[in-house]
Structure 1
Amino acid sequence: MSYQYPPPNQPPYGGYGHPQAPPQGYHQPYPQQPYGAPPGAPPGAPAGAPPPHAPPQGHYPPQQGYGQPPPPQGGYYGAPSPQPPAGYHTSSPQPPAGYHAPSSQPPYGQAPPHGQPPYGQPPQGHAPPPGGPGYGAPPPGAYGAHGAPPHGAPAMMGPPAMPSLGYVPGQKAPGDFRQQADMLRKAMKGFGTDEKTLIAVLATLDPLQMAAVRATYTQHIGRDLYKDVKSETGGYLEQGLLAVIEGPLNHDVICVHEAIDGVGTKEWMLNEILLGRSNADLNAIKSAYEHKYRRNLTREVEGDLSFKTADLFKTVLRADRREESVPINPQSVEDEVRTIHGSTAGRMVNNVAEVSGILARSSDAELRAIDQGFHRRYNVSLEKHLEKEFSGHMEDAFLHMLRTATDPAMRDAILLEECMAGMGTKDEQLVVRVVRVHWNRDHKERVKAAYRHRYGKNLIDRVREETSGDYQRLMVALLE
């Protein structure tokens, strides 16, 4: 699908530098709306002014109104639940009988077709399968009575977001997955291993389908799929297949443990697993980590980092960000813009705690508003300001949090290129990042488009250049 770039509702000063000229039609001035103006109001319109019947010719799409739900970003973190593939390749198993994939989302930045329900809501007359919640929905009581925030939660949390697809333990796709289980066992039984079949079956599954296939393999075959694949494969092919089999939640938990276990810390992995996440996903990760390793994740991470970054992650792991459902307070946005600038610009020592607190507690919608307000007031993007004022792990952490809110597709395009740029390939990072991108099909397509926009290359072709053999086949299959 086509990808409008910069993404709708985002200004052209997104902070990524754009080494090449933006696409035709994206060099016009970006219309700045005052806080409180309704979406679609012309630049300079007062709060409450009615939107015109059509936007002025040559302008960007109208900015999202503050306090409204954000547009579907398609990002892995906090994005609408990823959709199962529309169909399996002819070489891969067919969807099980009785399985109906959720309806696909419209193109990025577009409203649902006329007569369709808002994003995330089922069509009129749709009912979940008997005996359980709808596909991808949390089980009853996941958020307490009436879906209310947990007792003691801050008053401004608002109604909580659902966990991302694959972050509710024990949840599986409905249907019969014995065909997939049989194909996987046949590929590993006897002399030799059919790696192509392993890749063809596993690379097409969404998180809940993967959970169902793994459970079916145990029940139907009487063996452990993870152990069988581990014993039959090796190298980065093994690493990628096992990451897929674990699913997003378990893989996140394993990655966090690897990041802090032993000598040294993999800061990049901590950033990508823990920063910019929804409260629901963070709470799922913390609970699963404690269940698996019998240790408190917050204490483990805090003890492995230096003073300032330890404080940032401690704040993040409280999982008390303002929810996307909380309306944006324009005055608070202005105050936080000034606080960030006053805590950094012209100071001998930056007030890191102030900046950390703002970035850690703000919702993605608030961070987008702060980003826009900072540029409006100081005529420089917040991203460039953070790059100038910070360095090392703190800089990387702040930029990851900001990019997750402003442009998660470009964030991941940059991270993928960083794995492959220069001498040699950072294969461990490439595997982790490709697997994480592939869980959300819509987001994956945006990442590929963002990569082409920034680097002028096809992402899959670039990955082919950096990999080989079955490892290459898996990386390509996950990105297709």
Structure 2
Amino acid sequence: MSYQYPPNQQQAPYGYPQGAPPQGPPQGYQQGPPQGYQQGYQQPPHPQQQYGPPQGAPHGGPPPQGHYPPPQGYGQPPPQQQQGYYGAPSPQPPAPYGAPPAHHSGYPPQHQPPQQPYGQPPPGQQYPPQHGQPPHGQPPHGYAPPQGPPHGAPMHGVPGAYGAPMGAPAPPSLGYVPGQVAPGDFRAEADALRKAMKGFGTDERALIQVLSRLDPLQMAGVRAAYSKHIGRDLYKDVKSETGGHLEQGLLAVIEGPLMYDVACVHEAVKGAGTKEWLLNDILLGRSNADLQAILAAYHRTYHRQLTRDVEDDLSFKTAELFKNVLRATRHEDSVPINPQAIEAEVRTLHDSTAARMVNNVIEVCGIFVRSSNTELREIDRAFQARYHTPLDKHVEKEFSGHMEDALLHMLRTATDPAMRDAILLEECMAGMGTKDERLVVRVVRVHWDRQHKEMVKRAYRHRFGKDLIARVREETSGDLEKLMVALLE
């Protein structure tokens, strides 16, 4: 049974809880220790990166989100603030026109600078590439993935629905521009990693302790420092010293978000059969900038076209869906909502499914593929208002198999990404046996954005009535358990 949201609430954007607008200009990435400071793995963790509001969004970011109760003992409401549903602070005043509405997924606001979607760097800030040899498997420093068109220009000649512009393109997420590294001195981490693998035996606990605390740009910095300071390849050393799903997880962290995504989509289509779940996880619901980065890195790495490889591995209808997704031409979230266009899309969704004997899959997929997350949230709201049925329930009724999974993944990415990931994690552990490969992939990808990770843990408790880390402990053991727990903490 799917989660029934509270009445008269709307769904949250693919951002995370927002408090009061920051005082002064948005804060950028907070770098680690100053140059020359030796920060080893026994020092306190690197500070969490801070992000400014998304480009094109009103100052202050999206309004606060709804009402998942925090885990017991997790923080307290700010003083002199009225309590709302489930004890969360009551909503703030409406955001300016065009901003995402406060939706019904329910994360209590926190008083900290607003953050951007999954790992996105601060507006206008580029992290300087590290001089010297690039990390293993990554392209030369200074490469930037293809960027979208100027503000208001359609991408690849494809205008927005009903003549709407594509909007200003969002920048790539953190870890999706090759060559970017966090500032700071990472020789202490490099020394600790080498010590864990040098000589007889391997200290897996030390490897986990160092690698599990790093964000994408810190990981790139450690990897570069290991190559320059130690004179060895961290990826190759860890691969030779570990095995099984521990190796899979550690190498995933070392690869970083972009190159691990590339490795995952290649794994999904190589050989006999297709791992549809992996294609969904990596490719659906992504920004144009991230998809462009994945396409370019896949071609550099394997000298093949990702679009063709995916098409060749899927059946007609899902192949067409992914082909259109990989055009990376969906509307940007900076485009203001057009209420008339939203109502037209809602009617088309209904008329292409419930009003027909055979679903018009092309029409439905076209709406999901071209709509921004903001538009999908509005379509979801308007569909329920008009037809008194949640759109996700309608999709479950009208579709099945891979197509159903793909459409639900895209919808949940827009409406409630934390709940989406909570459900995906539970799918890895439900039933007889644990799907360890899926669990590793999904935990590593959740781990890259620490605030999103906290939201996933709250959503998991809300949906399944259990603590996520305790659930993972029940389903794993040994070094894999240690790694999964460390990445989720």
Secondary structure of the residue aligned to 2:329 is coil
CA distance in 1, matches of 2:458, 2:358: 40
CA distance in 1, matches of 2:200, 2:180: 34
> Over residues 13-42 of structure 1, what are the superposed CA-to-partner deviations in whole Å (9 max), with x where a residue is unaligned?
xx9335xxx7xxx5xx41xxxxxxxxxxxx
Deviation, 1:283, is 0.2
Match of 1:215 among 221, 224, 248: 224
Q: Which amino acid aligns with 1:102?
A: Q
Distance verdict in 2 for CA 1:376–1:259, change over 3 Å: same
Deviation, 1:162, is 1.1
Match of 2:270 among 247, 256, 261: 261
Contact 1:83 1:442 in 2 (8 A): no
Partner of 1:174: 183
Match of 2:370 among 361, 376, 384: 361
Distance verdict in 2 for CA 1:158–1:177, change over 3 Å: same
Task: Give runs of aligned pairs for residues 378-389 of structure 1, distance below 5 A.
Answer: 378-389=387-398
CA distance in 2, matches of 1:71, 1:394: 22
Partner of 1:472: 481
Identity of paired residues, percent? 65
Partner of 1:5: none
Supply the RMSD in Å over aligned alpha carbons. Answer: 3.6
Distance verdict in 2 for CA 1:127–1:324, change over 3 Å: closer
Match of 1:336 among 326, 330, 345: 345
Partner of 2:426: 417
Distance verdict in 2 for CA 1:150–1:431, change over 3 Å: same
CA distance in 2, matches of 1:405, 1:268: 18
Contiguous gaps of at least 5 residues in structure 1: 1-14, 31-59, 65-69, 75-79
Match of 2:147 among 130, 143, 165: 143
Deviation, 1:139, is 8.5
Distance verdict in 2 for CA 1:116–1:261, change over 3 Å: closer
CA distance in 1, matches of 2:433, 2:31: 33
- Stretch of structure 1 that moved more, 466-475 or 112-121: 112-121
Distance verdict in 2 for CA 1:144–1:196, change over 3 Å: same
Partner of 1:45: none
Task: Give runs of aligned pairs for residues 25-424 of structure 1, distance below 5 A.
Answer: 26=6, 29-30=7-8, 72-73=15-16, 92-94=42-44, 101-102=49-50, 109=65, 143=147, 152-155=156-159, 156-424=165-433
Distance verdict in 2 for CA 1:192–1:132, change over 3 Å: closer
Contact 2:14 2:414 in 1 (8 A): no
CA distance in 2, matches of 1:408, 1:367: 13
CA distance in 2, matches of 1:208, 1:457: 32
Q: Which amino acid aligns with 2:147?
A: Y
CA distance in 2, matches of 1:321, 1:197: 43
CA distance in 2, matches of 1:247, 1:141: 16
Distance verdict in 2 for CA 1:81–1:405, change over 3 Å: farther
Q: Which amino acid aligns with 2:479?
A: D
CA distance in 2, matches of 1:86, 1:386: 45
Secondary structure of the residue aligned to 1:251 is helix
Deviation, 1:436, is 0.3
Match of 1:431 among 440, 447, 452: 440
Q: Which amino acid aligns with 1:255?
A: C
Secondary structure of the residue aligned to 2:456 is helix
Distance verdict in 2 for CA 1:114–1:434, change over 3 Å: closer
Secondary structure of the residue aligned to 1:218 is helix
Deviation, 1:353, is 0.3
CA distance in 2, matches of 1:365, 1:376: 17
Deviation, 1:146, is 7.0
Number of residues of Structure 1 aligned to a counterpart in Structure 2: 407
CA distance in 2, matches of 1:265, 1:174: 40
CA distance in 2, matches of 1:450, 1:85: 30
Contact 1:218 1:224 in 2 (8 A): yes
Name the TM-score, length of structure 1 as normaliser.
Answer: 0.77
Contact 1:84 1:205 in 2 (8 A): no
CA distance in 2, matches of 1:392, 1:458: 30
Q: Which amino acid aligns with 2:392?
A: E
CA distance in 1, matches of 2:356, 2:126: 59
> Over residues 83-128 of structure 1, what are the superposed CA-to-partner deviations in whole Å (9 max), with x where a residue is unaligned?
78999x99644568xx89436999953879999987569xxxx996
CA distance in 1, matches of 2:110, 2:417: 28
Contact 1:82 1:442 in 2 (8 A): no
Partner of 2:460: 451
Deviation, 1:131, is 6.8
Q: Which amino acid aligns with 2:467?
A: N
CA distance in 1, matches of 2:313, 2:434: 27
> Over residues 213-232 of structure 1, what are the superposed CA-to-partner deviations in whole Å (9 max), with x where a residue is unaligned?
11111111111100100110
Contact 1:409 1:443 in 2 (8 A): yes
Secondary structure of the residue aligned to 1:223 is coil
Deviation, 1:346, is 3.8
CA distance in 2, matches of 1:150, 1:81: 31
CA distance in 2, matches of 1:277, 1:232: 34
CA distance in 2, matches of 1:150, 1:170: 29
Name the TM-score, length of structure 2 as normaliser.
Answer: 0.75
CA distance in 2, matches of 1:231, 1:350: 51
Contact 1:368 1:405 in 2 (8 A): yes
Partner of 2:2: 16
CA distance in 2, matches of 1:265, 1:144: 30
Contact 1:82 1:439 in 2 (8 A): no
> Over residues 42-65 of structure 1, what are the superposed CA-to-partner deviations in whole Å (9 max), with x where a residue is unaligned?
xxxxxxxxxxxxxxxxxx5x889x
Deviation, 1:175, is 1.0
Deviation, 1:154, is 3.7
Partner of 2:75: none
